[in-house]
């Protein structure tokens, strides 16, 4: 009995002892690896963002390495889960910088976690390409030297919505937003830009991500006499708004933000979701984008690859990981993995991605314009390009 335990424990020790060095031996042969860190909210309350991002990053790394790496260098991804929590995101970023010696970091998924890690990457001088939406992540740009982001600007989304409203002759609107970082940032933009468009906001309501009924807020909006409603949110609770509107027979046009960009949200809204108008990345309606659009090939290829690999529908958020990782890969191809030169190269990036056509500059660490959005609508649970 004792002997058997002894042999077993020896075997386990040997296994552990030999497994690690063998990895380092592999590393020494050939060119050195390019280490890139990824921090996504794969679990927790923001996992619907992190999961497709995580999957996309893994898929791209496999594809790159199968094709011989980046100029012969193997691309090694160090994936870390934040659980959507600030503290864990800070720890993860520090681990990537100090232990894994990454040259650049992709992520985090949420605006809050991105803001939390900015002081760390700024001090460590490691470029960060965030997958989160809020504009404060990259502004003011002189305080965000090492920070970039790939999702479209929320202010541009608001302008697209207001443009569409102006074309329909709408002047009085109600807004309702989720109380998350995304919702709060959008609410500020909606109110600020309404002045430019001479729109009157007659009702301004909010709901928490855990809410299950928004009837009270919608009644207020109805009584205030709004001609249209903007629902600005990124959490699943946003799908309840169209359902409650249908129950209340509130038949005004419903506009959503680009945070609606997951076809599961449209499915959750069911029949009530038909006719929702929202500015979204073209990825969501890749099939209905005209062939002349320069983004068409990227969109269709990514969509096909993702859906084939993971047997799941593609979402805007996975597209953000695609854009940020490819911007990093392109920069690595040109200048190698020194963080400082890599940063300068990312700042010059021009790239046709899923979210739009990027053109980064020292004054603009996002590089997308109003045209990155396409007005989309929901038709039988699917996203299609809006015709008028």
Partner 1 sequence: MGGKNSVGFLILIIGIILIPFMVTNDYYLGVLIFTAFNCLACIGLCLLMGYAGQISIGHGAFIAIGAYTSGILTAKFAWSPWLAMFCGILIVIVIAFCLGIPALRLKGHYLAMATLGFASIVHIVAVAAVDLTGGPSGLVNIPRLDFFGYVLSSDKQYFYFSWSVVALGVYIAFNLINSRVGRGLQAIHGSEDAASSLGINITSYKVQVFILSAVFASVSGSLYAYYMNYIDPGPFDVSHSILLVTMVAVGGLHNIWGALIGAVFLSLLPEFLSFLSDYLQVLGIAYQPDYDTLVYGFILLIIMLFLPEGLFKGFGNITQFVRSIFKKFSKRASDRVK
Asked if 184 interacts with partner 1 (CB under 8 A), we say yes
d(CA 2, CA 123): 54
Asked if 185 interacts with partner 1 (CB under 8 A), we say yes
Contact by Cβ (8 Å): 132, 149: yes
First to last CA, the chain: 79
Asked if 35 interacts with partner 1 (CB under 8 A), we say no
Contact by Cβ (8 Å): 77, 58: yes
- Residue identified by tokens 């015709």 is 387
What is the nearest approach in angstroms of partner 1 to the Cβ of residue 176?
A: 14
Asked if 181 interacts with partner 1 (CB under 8 A), we say yes
Asked if 19 interacts with partner 1 (CB under 8 A), we say yes
Asked if 66 interacts with partner 1 (CB under 8 A), we say no
Helices and strands counted in the chain (H then E): 12, 14
Phi, psi of 154 (to 5 degrees): -70, -30
Which pair of tokens denotes residue 87? 């503290």
User: Which of 9, 87, 171, 361 is the binder for partner 1 (CB under 8 A)?
Assistant: 87
Contact by Cβ (8 Å): 162, 183: no
d(CA 110, CA 238): 17
Nearest CB to partner 1, comparing residues 38 and 276: 38
Preceding omega of 384 cis (within 30 degrees of 0): no
Asked if 134 interacts with partner 1 (CB under 8 A), we say yes
Closest CA to 250 of 237, 258, 241: 241
Asked if 311 interacts with partner 1 (CB under 8 A), we say no
What is the nearest approach in angstroms of partner 1 to the Cβ of residue 149?
A: 15
d(CA 371, CA 7): 67
* Cα-based distances in Å from 355 to 97, 106, 265, 320: 28, 16, 19, 7
Nearest CB to partner 1, comparing residues 81 and 374: 81
Contact by Cβ (8 Å): 294, 352: yes
What is the nearest approach in angstroms of partner 1 to the Cβ of residue 250?
A: 24
Asked if 172 interacts with partner 1 (CB under 8 A), we say no
Asked if 84 interacts with partner 1 (CB under 8 A), we say yes
User: Which of 57, 102, 103, 116 is the binder for partner 1 (CB under 8 A)?
Assistant: 116
Nearest CB to partner 1, comparing residues 143 and 350: 143
Stretch that binds partner 1, among 79-87, 272-280, 331-339, 344-352 (CB under 8 A): 79-87
Stretch that binds partner 1, among 173-181, 245-253, 260-268, 272-280 (CB under 8 A): 173-181
Q: Residue ranges of the alpha helices (H) in the chain?
A: 2-28, 47-66, 86-98, 111-124, 154-168, 181-196, 215-223, 240-247, 263-269, 296-310, 316-335, 339-347
d(CA 17, CA 22): 9
Stretch that binds partner 1, among 75-83, 160-168, 284-292, 318-326 (CB under 8 A): 75-83
Asked if 111 interacts with partner 1 (CB under 8 A), we say yes
Asked if 206 interacts with partner 1 (CB under 8 A), we say yes
Contact by Cβ (8 Å): 103, 36: yes
Size of the site for partner 1 (CB under 8 A): 39
Asked if 13 interacts with partner 1 (CB under 8 A), we say no
Which pair of tokens denotes residue 44? 């927790």
What is the nearest approach in angstroms of partner 1 to the Cβ of residue 202?
A: 20
Stretch that binds partner 1, among 176-184, 221-229, 281-289, 301-309 (CB under 8 A): 176-184
Asked if 227 interacts with partner 1 (CB under 8 A), we say no
Closest CA to 59 of 72, 37, 77, 82: 77
Asked if 104 interacts with partner 1 (CB under 8 A), we say no
User: Which of 33, 48, 65, 95 is the binder for partner 1 (CB under 8 A)?
Assistant: 95
Nearest CB to partner 1, comparing residues 5 and 251: 5
Nearest CB to partner 1, comparing residues 86 and 379: 86
Q: What is the DSSP string of 103-123?
A: SEEE--SSHHHHHHHHHHHHH
Which pair of tokens denotes residue 293? 């659009």
Positions touching partner 1 (CB under 8 A) are 2, 19-20, 23, 42-43, 80-81, 83-88, 90-92, 94-95, 97-99, 111-112, 115-116, 118-119, 134, 136, 179-185, 206, 208
């Amino acid at each position: 009995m004792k002997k058997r335990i002894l042999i077993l424990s020896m075997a386990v020790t040997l296994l552990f002892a030999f497994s690690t060095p063998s990895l380092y031996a592999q590393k020494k042969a050939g060119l050195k690896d390019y280490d890139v860190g990824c921090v996504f909210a794969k679990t927790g309350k923001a996992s619907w963002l992190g999961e497709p991002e995580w999957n996309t990053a893994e898929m791209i790394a496999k594809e790159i390495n199968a094709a011989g790496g980046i100029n012969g260098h193997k691309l090694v991804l160090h994936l870390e889960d934040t659980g959507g929590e600030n503290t864990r995101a800070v720890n993860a970023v520090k681990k990537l910088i100090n232990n894994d010696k990454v040259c650049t970091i992709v992520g985090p998924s949420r605006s809050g976690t991105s803001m939390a890690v900015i002081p760390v990457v700024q001090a460590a001088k490691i470029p960060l390409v965030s997958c989160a939406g809020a504009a404060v992540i990259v502004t003011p740009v002189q305080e965000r030297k090492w920070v970039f982001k790939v999702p479209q600007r929320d202010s541009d989304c608001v302008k697209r919505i207001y443009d569409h409203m102006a074309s329909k002759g709408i002047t009085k609107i109600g807004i309702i937003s989720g109380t998350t970082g995304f919702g709060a940032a959008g609410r500020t933009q909606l109110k600020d830009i309404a002045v430019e468009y001479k729109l009157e906001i007659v009702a301004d309501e909010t709901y928490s991500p855990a809410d299950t009924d928004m009837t009270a807020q919608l009644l207020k909006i109805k009584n205030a006499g709004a001609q249209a409603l903007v629902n600005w949110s990124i959490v699943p609770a946003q799908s309840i708004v169209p359902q409650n509107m249908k129950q209340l027979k509130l038949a005004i046009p419903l506009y959503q933000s680009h945070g609606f960009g997951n076809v599961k949200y449209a499915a959750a809204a069911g029949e009530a979701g038909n006719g929702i108008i929202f500015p979204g990345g073209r990825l969501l309606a890749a099939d209905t984008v005209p062939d002349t659009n320069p983004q068409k090939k990227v969109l269709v290829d990514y969509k096909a690859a993702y859906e084939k690999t993971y047997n799941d529908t593609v979402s805007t958020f996975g597209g953000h990981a695609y854009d940020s990782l490819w911007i990093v890969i392109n920069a690595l191809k040109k200048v190698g993995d020194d963080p400082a030169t890599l940063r300068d190269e990312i700042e010059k990036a021009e790239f046709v991605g899923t979210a739009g056509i990027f053109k980064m500059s020292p004054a603009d660490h996002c590089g997308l314009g109003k045209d990155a959005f396409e007005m989309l609508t929901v038709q039988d649970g699917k996203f299609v390009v809006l015709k008028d």
